[in-house]
């Protein structure tokens, strides 16, 4: 389609179900009560000039351009702040209005540079458009008077400029920062003529301010005052394509605005049901990695990892990979090979990889990066509710009265959804935070948690059982809900268990470090505060009792009846863009798509008939099991699509040993990642901009990913897997990913109603989608649990075996930061690194003082697994005895110190609890030096003789 | 820890999370979990540990692996 900005209705839509009838310029229209006159006019494509109004923030009524005349109403009210009324007769174009608007516009233009032809917003400027709309032809006041034209541009932000000389002080940027993003970084300094948009304090520029670069202000700006640098460099887009972000599990949809095949900017799509027109610094701006100079575009092979890479043709790469897999299987057995699917790739690509393993490798040795993040969610929610997924849509938060956030840091890891949470909290909802760290949500502008329970890492189950103890013993359960919806006998067993005095907050306080009375108050609020919703992240799952914690959360929700309607529920905040989808597609070694066990004969037959092969009825190896088996000499080849297990998985030395023991490691990725240092075949990957497919976000929402440019490497990732399969003798002939989704739908009951055509028609679909729910299912378990009766599971607290002691007296917990994403492969190759150039260790002042350390010092971080060095930040965000860092940078390799302890049910690593010691350091650890040398050697690419 | 010790650790860890069940129920639950999630080679190794009278296996884990062994044998062709 050609380029057109998305229509702006001027003010937000009203959700009233009551209809108002009015006439605008003589034409009758029906709109919901509460709609503004401006929006009603826009609904019938009647444009009322405006400057300070835009439809994702509340009306403001300051620009005085949108005036209208209304029969029997005095004066000329602003249409943006005037709600419709029955029988109202509005006139949008009269000589009086024309004169008034022209006069207002004349004043604006008298203090605005007349550089339209050279302005970066030329033809995309609302001021320009409205000046034309009101018929402004000259400015009677001249341009010589006092003005703002000489003000300097603030170019400090890497992604956009702020040119105050073009500012009309409409406050749209300030209000967007407040209302949409909720950061309150911007303000209007001064009064009257001196009014100026300011980021932070007068001494701040955008970069040094609290601005989080979400882009909401840039999107809101009606002039070129806040403008993307990319637009200045490339020019305005000439077309746009709707696609889905490839960063976190929120799944924002964007308009990829293009000029030819060049991406100019990503603009959040207002009709996106996950993001509702908002974005974060990653999705909005951090796409530069797509054409980064380090991208590998040609396939490469080598005989051993001490050799340099040699570029080869695709044909040679596929043929070599297939022959290696076949050779290894002949020598070591069918189950000696496997693969890993990616939570960053599309559903279709993921489905093909697991199909290749099951139908081509003839075993179930397929796993996915969800193993190391949300596999306990799959186990826990399937056990208790019957479905391995969250229960709500994101819109549900708008009806929540209480939010319980445990083990999640939404403002950093899921920022767009965090903005919606903050909005609801500003409206009066109450917040409980359970986290060892004082995350931003605990206290930030206009948001303050009612209760923060700063628990000792590793005691989630104890804290949740204490909450249950209070709810049960104080009679706060929803017995009617439990009797109707859950297994009553199991509930009684559970209630007896949690009621035991040994589970009281007072008894467990010594273990959890959570003040008992505070915990009791939090429990009462969750149980009695109205609609209560639980949001959780990897601080729940990445523990030795990750699955138990998920089940304990489910128990709480069932006990209080907080399941099965908007505003409540159990909501895992998924880390990567397609974690949910990768799991749905059958990436786990024990399950086919739709979470059906491989031992189920009927399910297997369905696939066997469709695929024409016999499937292995036994579960395969999980990632940690693959690595163990490799060290034992029983697992010899691995195909890894879009995951960097060396950097992301725990106990890096063990991962390296496992990879080094294999005879064929095939890495399929954009870059020579850390895992590729141990690879023998490299298959270049394509970015989300270069492929068609679908992602499924944290709310089970399936959304289209649309190709906006040709893959620089020549093939989309699904095509690479298909060619590898064909080289192995499989007769695959998919012509488009839509055909793969058709196969998924054919074989997977929860996806039966999903197709690319339906997705195009509806915009998105939340599974399950089938004959019963053809448009999808926003809220699950509304009338009954998928498994029948909800299952209460007794979750006994079992302390982790990772103990502190004299050698390692501190507990390390890890997490993410806003500007970086996962192992940083994408974001480190963008300007986002300006905000986070290295991993930093956070330590409480008392622990730092005891060690003679101060902010900025290099420190040695050591555990029984290994050691690394990184710089220190002294902060009381962490409790005494706890330290925290991120894992975004390979130079740090935080996972050198994490251990092989894992969740009892799923083997999800226990990233969040590692006993460590911190000491002063003068330089990199031996491991870091050795690894850097190895990495440099392993990344050599042989230059063909003809090129020399 | 080597892979055999690791499997014993994993079995014991599962056992500790079923500690609120009575012994027979726990053994069955642990065995069912292992059948559902462990690769056959891992199951053979843990059964082998039982055969070798591995002392690191908790009593309830031993019972579970015995259930597993008996099931394994009855399933054998």
- Is A461 strand, coil or helix? helix
Instruction: Please provide the size of chain A in residues.
Output: 948
* Burial degree of A340 (CB within 10 A; 0-12, 13-18, 19+): buried
Band of pLDDT at residue A894, cut at 50, 70 and 90 = confident
Cβ contact B40–A618 (<8 Å): yes
Mean pLDDT lowest among A407-416, A513-522, A702-711, A924-933: A924-933
Angle between helices A126-133 and A95-110 (to 10 degrees): 140
Same domain assignment for residues A457 and A599: no
Band of pLDDT at residue B77, cut at 50, 70 and 90 = very low
Handedness of CA A450, A454, A460, A461 (dihedral sign): negative
Q: Is A313's Cβ below 8 Å from some Cβ in B?
A: no
Shortest CA distance from A630: residue in chain B:
B3
Band of pLDDT at residue B53, cut at 50, 70 and 90 = confident
Q: Is A617's Cβ below 8 Å from some Cβ in B?
A: no
Residue A453 lies in a domain: yes
Same domain assignment for residues A72 and A118: yes
Q: What is the pLDDT of residue A927?
A: 85
Which CATH number does the domain housing residue A48 bear? 3.10.20.740
Q: Is A198's Cβ below 8 Å from some Cβ in B?
A: no
Would you say residue A409 has pLDDT above 80? yes
Output phi, psi for A216, to 5 deg: -60, -35
Q: Is A365's Cβ below 8 Å from some Cβ in B?
A: yes
Same domain assignment for residues A558 and A646: no
* Domain end position, chosen among A91, A118, A133: A133
Same domain assignment for residues A281 and A221: yes
Query: Taking CB atoms and an 8 Å cut-off, how many pairs form between chains A and B?
Result: 55
Q: What is the pLDDT of residue A89?
A: 98
Q: What is the pLDDT of residue B73?
A: 64
Number of domains within chain B: 1
Residue A694 lies in a domain: no
pLDDT in tens, A363-393: 999 999 999 999 999 999 999 999 999 999 9
Cβ contact A619–B10 (<8 Å): no
Over residues A241-248, the mean pLDDT reads 97
Shortest CA distance from A497: residue in chain B:
B20
Cα dihedral A17, A18, A23, A24 in deg (nearest 10): -40
Pick from A589, A597, A904: which is nearest to B14 by CB? A904
Residues of chain B positioned with their CB less than 8 A from the CB of A907:
10
Residue B7 C-alpha, separation from nearest chain A C-alpha, in angstroms: 9
A-interface mutation test, from B37, B61, B77, most A Cβ less than 10 A away? B37
Which CATH number does the domain housing residue A226 bear? 3.30.70.20
Residues of chain B positioned with their CB less than 8 A from the CB of A497:
20
- The percent of residues in chain A predicted with pLDDT above 70, rounded, is 99
Same domain assignment for residues A284 and A368: no
- Residues 784-813, chain A, touching B (beta carbon < 8 A): 794, 796, 798
Cβ contact B39–A904 (<8 Å): no
Band of pLDDT at residue A545, cut at 50, 70 and 90 = very high
Q: What is the pLDDT of residue A926?
A: 87
The pair of three-digit structure tokens given for residue A44, joined into one six-digit string: 């019938």
Structure letter (DSSP) for residue A207: T
Same domain assignment for residues A562 and A629: no
Which has the closest alpha carbon to A820: A281, A266, A288, A407?
A281
Handedness of CA A272, A273, A275, A278 (dihedral sign): positive
Q: Is B76's Cβ below 8 Å from some Cβ in A?
A: no
ipTM at complex level: 0.96
Q: What is the pLDDT of residue A946?
A: 61
- Is A730 strand, coil or helix? coil
- Residues 142-171, chain A, touching B (beta carbon < 8 A): none
Would you say residue A36 has pLDDT above 70? yes
Does an H or E element contain A656, and which?
A: helix A652-660
Q: What is the pLDDT of residue A923?
A: 83
A78 contacts: CB under 8 Å, gap ≥ 6: A59, A61, A64, A66, A67, A68
The pair of three-digit structure tokens given for residue A3, joined into one six-digit string: 């380029």
Cβ contact B1–A900 (<8 Å): yes
Domain membership of residue A129 as a residue range: 19-133
Which CATH number does the domain housing residue A386 bear? 3.40.228.10
Pick from A625, A631, A906: which is nearest to B42 by CB? A625
- The percent of residues in chain A predicted with pLDDT above 90, rounded, is 94
Residue A4 lies in a domain: no
Q: Is B41's Cβ below 8 Å from some Cβ in A?
A: yes
Same domain assignment for residues A541 and A419: yes
Residue A93 lies in a domain: yes
The pair of three-digit structure tokens given for residue A665, joined into one six-digit string: 């490691």
Same domain assignment for residues A559 and A496: yes
Same domain assignment for residues A337 and A258: no
pLDDT in tens, A256-276: 999 999 999 999 999 999 999
Residue A414 lies in a domain: yes
Shortest CA distance from A658: residue in chain B:
B3
Cα angle: A676, vertex A677, A679; to 5 degrees? 55
Shortest CA distance from B12: residue in chain A:
A904
Separation between Cα atoms, residue A109 and residue A145, nearest integer Å: 12
Over residues A397-407, the mean pLDDT reads 98
Separation between Cα atoms, residue A710 and residue A263, nearest integer Å: 12
Number of domains within chain A: 5
Band of pLDDT at residue B76, cut at 50, 70 and 90 = very low
Separation between Cα atoms, residue A247 and residue A208, nearest integer Å: 25
Same domain assignment for residues A908 and A832: yes
Cβ contact A619–B39 (<8 Å): yes
Structure letter (DSSP) for residue A334: G
Q: What is the pLDDT of residue B74?
A: 58
Would you say residue A792 has pLDDT above 90? yes
* Burial degree of B25 (CB within 10 A; 0-12, 13-18, 19+): exposed
Q: Is B1's Cβ below 8 Å from some Cβ in A?
A: yes
Residue A455 C-alpha, separation from nearest chain B C-alpha, in angstroms: 21
- Is A651 strand, coil or helix? coil
- Please report, for residues A156, A432, A473, A495, the alpha-carbon distance to residue A505 in angstroms, rounded to integers and kept in the order given: 50, 16, 12, 15
Separation between Cα atoms, residue A670 and residue A685, nearest integer Å: 5
Over residues A929-938, the mean pLDDT reads 92
Residues of chain B positioned with their CB less than 8 A from the CB of A618:
39-40
The pair of three-digit structure tokens given for residue A261, joined into one six-digit string: 């095949």
- Residues 562-591, chain A, touching B (beta carbon < 8 A): 589-590
- Please report, for residues A258, A276, A690, A732, A831, the alpha-carbon distance to residue A714 in angstroms, rounded to integers and kept in the order given: 20, 34, 10, 19, 26
- Is A659 strand, coil or helix? helix
Same domain assignment for residues A560 and A595: no
Shortest CA distance from B21: residue in chain A:
A794
Helix, strand and coil percent figures for chain A, each rounded to 5: 35, 20, 45
Cβ contact B39–A796 (<8 Å): no
Cβ contact B3–A632 (<8 Å): yes
Name the β-bridge partners of A339. A366, A639
Separation between Cα atoms, residue A524 and residue A520, nearest integer Å: 6
Over residues A73-85, the mean pLDDT reads 97
Would you say residue A634 has pLDDT above 60? yes
Residues of chain A positioned with their CB less than 8 A from the CB of B1:
900
Cβ contact A590–B20 (<8 Å): no
* Domain end position, chosen among A697, A731, A765: A731
Instruction: Please provide the size of chain B in residues.
Output: 77
Residues of chain B positioned with their CB less than 8 A from the CB of A628:
3, 6
* Domain end position, chosen among A537, A553, A572: A572
Same domain assignment for residues A402 and A490: yes
Residue A366 C-alpha, separation from nearest chain B C-alpha, in angstroms: 11
The pair of three-digit structure tokens given for residue A289, joined into one six-digit string: 């990695």
Domain membership of residue B33 as a residue range: 3-75
Residue A154 lies in a domain: no
């Amino acid at each position: 389609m050609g380029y057109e900005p998305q229509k702006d209705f001027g003010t937000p839509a009203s959700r009233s179900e009551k209809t108002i009838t009015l006439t605008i310029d003589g034409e009758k229209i029906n709109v919901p009560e509460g709609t503004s006159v401006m929006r009603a006019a826009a609904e019938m494509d009647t444009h009322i000039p405006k400057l300070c109004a835009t439809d994702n923030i509340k009306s403001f009524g300051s620009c005085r351009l949108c005036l209208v005349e209304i029969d029997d109403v005095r004066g000329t009210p602003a249409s943006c702040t005037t709600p419709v009324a029955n029988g109202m007769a509005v006139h949008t174009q009269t000589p009086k209005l024309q004169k008034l608007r022209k006069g207002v516009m004349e004043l604006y233009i008298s203090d605005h540079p007349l550089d339209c032809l050279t302005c970066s917003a030329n033809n995309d400027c609302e001021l320009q458009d409205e000046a034309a709309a009101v018929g402004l032809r000259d400015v009677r006041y001249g341009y010589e008077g006092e003005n703002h034209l000489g003000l300097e541009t603030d170019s400090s932000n890497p992604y956009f400029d702020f040119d105050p000389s073009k500012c009309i002080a409409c406050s749209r940027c300030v209000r967007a920062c407040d209302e949409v993003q909720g950061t309150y970084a911007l303000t209007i300094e001064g009064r009257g003529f001196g009014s100026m948009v300011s980021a932070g304090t007068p001494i701040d520029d955008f970069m040094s301010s609290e601005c989080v670069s979400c882009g909401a202000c840039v999107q809101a700006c009606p002039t070129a005052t806040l403008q993307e640098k990319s637009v200045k460099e490339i020019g305005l887009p000439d077309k746009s394509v709707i696609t889905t972000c490839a960063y976190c599990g929120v799944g924002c949809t964007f308009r990829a605005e293009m000029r030819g095949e060049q991406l100019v900017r990503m603009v959040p799509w207002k009709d996106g049901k996950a993001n509702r027109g908002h974005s974060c610094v990653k999705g909005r701006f951090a796409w530069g990695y797509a054409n980064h100079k380090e991208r590998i575009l040609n396939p490469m092979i080598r005989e051993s990892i001490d050799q340099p890479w040699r570029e080869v043709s695709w044909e040679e790469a596929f043929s070599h990979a297939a022959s290696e897999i076949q050779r290894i299987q002949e020598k070591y057995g069918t189950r000696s090979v496997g693969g890993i699917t990616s939570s960053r790739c599309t559903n279709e690509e993921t489905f093909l990889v697991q199909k290749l393993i099951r139908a081509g490798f003839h075993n179930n040795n397929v796993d996915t990066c969800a193993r190391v993040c949300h596999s306990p969610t799959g186990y826990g929610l399937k056990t208790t509710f019957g479905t391995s997924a969250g229960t709500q849509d994101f819109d549900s938060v708008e009806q929540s009265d209480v939010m319980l956030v445990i083990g999640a840091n939404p403002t950093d890891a899921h920022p767009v959804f965090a903005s919606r949470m903050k909005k609801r909290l500003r409206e009066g909802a109450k917040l409980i935070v359970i986290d060892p760290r004082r995350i931003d949500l605990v206290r930030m502008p206009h948001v303050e948690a009612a209760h923060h329970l700063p628990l000792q890492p590793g005691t989630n189950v104890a804290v949740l059982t204490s909450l249950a103890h209070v709810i049960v013993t104080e009679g706060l359960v929803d017995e009617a809900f439990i009797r109707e919806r859950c297994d009553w006998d199991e509930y009684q067993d559970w209630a007896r268990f949690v009621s035991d005095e040994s589970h009281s907050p007072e008894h467990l306080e010594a273990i959890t470090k959570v003040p008992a009375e505070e915990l009791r108050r939090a429990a009462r609020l969750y149980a009695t505060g109205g609609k209560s919703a639980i949001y959780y992240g990897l601080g729940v799952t990445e523990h030795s009792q990750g699955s138990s914690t998920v089940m304990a959360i489910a128990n709480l929700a069932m006990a209080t009846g907080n399941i099965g309607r908007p505003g409540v529920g159990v909501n895992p905040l998924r880390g990567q863009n397609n974690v949910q989808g990768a799991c749905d597609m059958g990436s786990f070694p024990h399950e086919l798509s739709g979470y059906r066990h491989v031992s189920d004969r009927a399910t297997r037959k369905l696939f066997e008939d469709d695929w024409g092969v016999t499937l292995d009825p036994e579960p395969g190896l999980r990632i940690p099991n693959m690595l163990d088996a490799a060290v034992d000499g029983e697992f010899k080849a691995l195909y890894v699509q879009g995951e960097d297990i060396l950097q992301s998985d725990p106990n890096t030395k063990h991962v390296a040993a496992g990879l080094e023991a294999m005879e064929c490691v095939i890495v399929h990725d954009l870059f020579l990642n850390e895992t590729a240092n141990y690879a023998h075949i490299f298959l270049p990957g394509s970015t989300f901009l270069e492929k068609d497919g679908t992602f499924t976000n944290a709310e089970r929402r399936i959304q289209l990913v649309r190709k906006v440019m040709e893959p620089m490497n020549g093939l989309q990732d699904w095509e690479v897997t298909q060619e590898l399969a064909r080289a192995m003798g499989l007769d695959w002939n998919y012509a488009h990913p839509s055909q793969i989704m058709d196969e998924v739908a054919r074989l997977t009951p929860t996806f039966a109603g999903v197709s690319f055509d339906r997705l195009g028609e509806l915009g998105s679909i939340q599974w399950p989608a089938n004959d019963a729910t053809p448009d999808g299912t926003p809220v699950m378990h509304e009338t009954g649990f998928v498994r029948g009766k909800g299952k209460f599971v007794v979750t006994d607290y079992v302390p982790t075996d990772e103990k502190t002691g004299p050698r390692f007296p501190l507990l390390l917990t890890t997490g993410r930061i806003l500007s970086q994403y996962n192992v940083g492969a994408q974001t480190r190759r963008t300007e986002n690194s300006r905000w986070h150039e290295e991993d930093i260790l956070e330590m409480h002042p008392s622990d730092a003082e005891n060690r003679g350390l101060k902010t900025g010092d290099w420190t040695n971080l050591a555990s029984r697994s290994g050691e690394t060095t990184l710089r220190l930040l002294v902060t009381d965000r962490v409790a005494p005895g706890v330290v925290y860092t991120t894992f975004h940078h390979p130079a740090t390799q935080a996972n050198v110190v994490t251990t092989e302890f894992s969740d009892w049910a799923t083997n999800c690593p226990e990233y969040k609890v590692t006993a460590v010691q911190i000491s002063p350091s003068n330089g990199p650890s031996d491991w870091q030096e050795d690894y850097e040398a190895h990495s440099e050697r392993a990344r050599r690419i042989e230059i063909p003789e003809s090129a020399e | 820890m080597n892979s055999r010790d690791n499997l014993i650790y994993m079995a014991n860890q599962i056992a500790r999370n079923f500690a609120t069940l009575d012994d027979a129920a726990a053994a069955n639950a642990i065995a069912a979990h292992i059948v559902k999630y462990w690769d056959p080679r891992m199951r053979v190794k843990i059964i082998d540990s039982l055969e070798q009278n591995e002392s690191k296996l908790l009593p309830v884990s031993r019972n579970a692996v015995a259930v597993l062994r008996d099931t394994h044998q009855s399933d054998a062709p």
